[in-house]
Structure 1
Amino acid sequence: MAAFGTRFMPEMALSTFDGDGWSQPVQVAADQISLHPAAHVLHYSSTCFEGLKAFRHDDGSVNIFRMEANIARLIQSSQLLALPKVTPELLEEMIVNIVKKYVTDVPEPPGSMYIRPTHIGTEPSIGKAASPSLTSMLYVLLSPVGDYFSGGIRPLRLLLEEHGSRCAAHMGMVKSGGNYASALQPIMQARASVNADQVLFCPGGDVQETGAANFLLIDGDEMITKALDSSFLHGITRDSILTIARDMGMKVSERELSVDELIERASKPETEAALSGTAAVLTPVGTLIRDGKDYRVGSGTQGPTTEKLRKALNAIQWGQTADKHGWLTKVS
């Protein structure tokens, strides 16, 4: 099986903005695009993207999970990056039509078709460091992916970073490549120094997010996670898990969480922690690392609540239980 995100469908959906309006979407070869070397995106990082999935159900139908939410977030990211405005109708048309084209290639569960809409500034100018790109390109890639946990579920080790941030505070809610780039060196250093899988950024002791996922703490029947603000990404999987937790009768607390409180709560046998994201849904956290010392979270293994929540979300995505929140868009 190819590594996650390295296999693509032969064609993608594409539309361009010329300064006045968007072109009619077309389906073109997915292995190349044409850009001027002075394109705004290459110099000033005018880029944002989304990640969502289409799932095959037992009845053979294919359904996209939370497409409207991902479209809304890409529109928000585009606005915050001063990229040309994308209409929800345009992006929905592009996503649905390219998924329909490759509907027979959508894997059976636990696999899925990963969908990557991307918006980039294309204006050729190296003199616009403080000005937005007036032209842009929007495209939608498809990548069939298998079971994220095919090698078995392994609880993660997280290094607590109390000084640095994942990205600039006012850019946190933008799903932009620059934010991932800024977190890369801290993650690599954490892997090399303390064998950490990820870095949990906690500037000033405020528990925020890791380099690529939101953080959730589960203490008995209470789930604790940082309240939404502009400093971190508003994860759609995060929102889905919180909604399901409320449906299950759990108390969901969206509030400030300090590193000291996190370490204290982690010592309880019943405590669990997890990272939420499109790829893995929920990945258990077994160890927190602070000032060179390991702190086990609960039992140090995947807890029952984490497993129950992930299975509940998968059941909706795979069409095995009722979609009472209207999260699925049927495309075939």
Structure 2
Amino acid sequence: MTTQTAPTFTVETRPDAATDEQVAELLANPAFGAKFTDHMALVDWTQGGGWANPRVTAYGPIPLEPAASVFHYGQEIFEGMKAYRHADGSIWTFRPEINAARFARSARRLALPELPEDLFLESLRALVELDQRWVPDQSLGEVSLYLRPFMIATEQALGVRPANRALYCVIASPAGAYFTGGLKPVSIWLSEDYVRAAPGGTGTAKCGGNYGASLAAQAEGIENGCDQVAFLDAVEQKWVEELGGMNLFFCYKDGTIVTPELSGTILEGVTRSSLIELARERGHEVVERRYSIGEWKDDAASGDLAEVFACGTAAVITPVGRLKWRGGEVSMGGGEIAESLRNALLDIQYGRVEDTHGWMHQLV
């Protein structure tokens, strides 16, 4: 039996790295996705040569030709993850093998090359090891180092076909709580003019086009006094799918939790699957099924629907307090289940309780 060794990333440290004082100042008040660490990880791919030249180098602009395929045909995918500093100073990330598998599925859907899991994992480790001083201490609150792996098609060609050259990259940004001001219910606008994804489309892939297509609906929601937007299915305009970047859970008075089933148009969230498991361990019946907008409205109005929450890597869990649409709105109370599950997940991620699931992966 042979043991597979992880790929080796060459490391070139930047001479003008931020000072320890500058890093400390940023970590004391991190804004989500606004400032980035000193370095980034890169790997090249070509049709003939495969994956090559894994390296960590200075964070900075990526030179691209104006005719690069990513600009014209949207061949791009990404992931979102976090690195957490535990009390003993070690640094961990959460279920990265699930992100690696989803990254490969997204690549297949966008006709991009699949990145091997060992290369994905080592890119995270190599970057975090070099920039580990950017991982904030949990004594500062709900803080972490947000990791953004992504891949773009870089071939200079205007022919409509899969590109023969691509670039994989990981960048990192110290992050505080996604929603400033603490955990408080958000308002959701129901999109009736736009859909996020259609059957056979890219809904299950984590690609920029899905998010770009959601922004007009998001702007409409903000204009109507809401924080986020909820999308319905593209065929019947009846079934609740997800928010622009988060999965939804519906909690009933009897303890049952319903979440929209993975229909082929919903992104399979890592946080979503983890919360289903945690909720079931706590005695909740979790049902994955189609969930209609009529059911949401009626059950919220009657009070049978105790609470609603959304989840994702960046926000973790946020309660939903109001659903609004043209001509009406309903409110939801509670938040106890959301808060309990949120605390349980964060305790695992920050190493405050034993990881009995084997979800955490040590980076440094």
Q: Same fold (TM over 0.5)?
A: yes
Q: Does the residue aligned with 1:38 lie in a helix, a strand or coil?
A: coil
Aligned length: 326
| Residues in 2 aligned to 1:73 and 1:270: alpha-carbon distance in whole angstroms | 32
Q: 2:299 aligns with which of 265, 268, 273?
A: 265
Supply the AA of the counterpart residue of 1:230: G
Q: 2:178 aligns with which of 143, 148, 153?
A: 148
Match of residue 182 from structure 1: 213
Q: Does the residue aligned with 2:53 lie in a helix, a strand or coil?
A: coil
Identity level (%): 38
Match of residue 259 from structure 2: 225
Supply the AA of the counterpart residue of 2:93: I
Superposition deviation, residue 126 in structure 1: 1.1
Deviates more, 1:307-316 or 1:196-205: 196-205
Deviates more, 1:207-216 or 1:165-174: 165-174
Say if 2:36 is the partner of 1:8: yes
- Are the equivalent residues in 1 in contact too, given 2:43–2:52 (CA < 8 A)? yes
| Residues in 2 aligned to 1:93 and 1:57: alpha-carbon distance in whole angstroms | 20
Provide TM-score, normalisation by structure 2.
0.87
Provide TM-score, normalisation by structure 1.
0.95
Say if 2:116 is the partner of 1:87: yes
Counterparts of residues 129-208 of structure 1 (less than 5 Å): 131-169=161-199, 170-192=201-223, 194-203=224-233, 204-208=237-241
Q: 1:305 aligns with which of 334, 337, 340?
A: 337
Give me the CA root mean square deviation.
Answer: 1.4
Supply the AA of the counterpart residue of 1:18: T
Structure 2 portions without partners, runs of 5+: 1-28
Counterparts of residues 13-162 of structure 1 (less than 5 Å): 13-19=41-47, 20-109=49-138, 110-128=142-160, 131-162=161-192
| Residues in 2 aligned to 1:5 and 1:136: alpha-carbon distance in whole angstroms | 24
Supply the AA of the counterpart residue of 1:173: T
Q: Does the residue aligned with 2:354 lie in a helix, a strand or coil?
A: coil
Q: Does the residue aligned with 2:164 lie in a helix, a strand or coil?
A: coil
- Are the equivalent residues in 2 in contact too, given 1:117–1:138 (CA < 8 A)? yes
Per-residue CA shift, 1:220-243, capped at 9, x if unaligned? Answer: 311111111211111111111111
| Residues in 2 aligned to 1:89 and 1:270: alpha-carbon distance in whole angstroms | 43
- Are the equivalent residues in 2 in contact too, given 1:121–1:135 (CA < 8 A)? yes
| Residues in 1 aligned to 2:256 and 2:349: alpha-carbon distance in whole angstroms | 24
Structure 1 portions without partners, runs of 5+: none
Deviates more, 1:311-320 or 1:214-223: 214-223
Match of residue 290 from structure 2: 256
Supply the AA of the counterpart residue of 1:185: A
| Residues in 2 aligned to 1:222 and 1:202: alpha-carbon distance in whole angstroms | 22
Superposition deviation, residue 6 in structure 1: 1.0
| Residues in 1 aligned to 2:30 and 2:132: alpha-carbon distance in whole angstroms | 20
Match of residue 281 from structure 1: 316
Q: 1:296 aligns with which of 327, 331, 335?
A: 331
Match of residue 274 from structure 2: 240
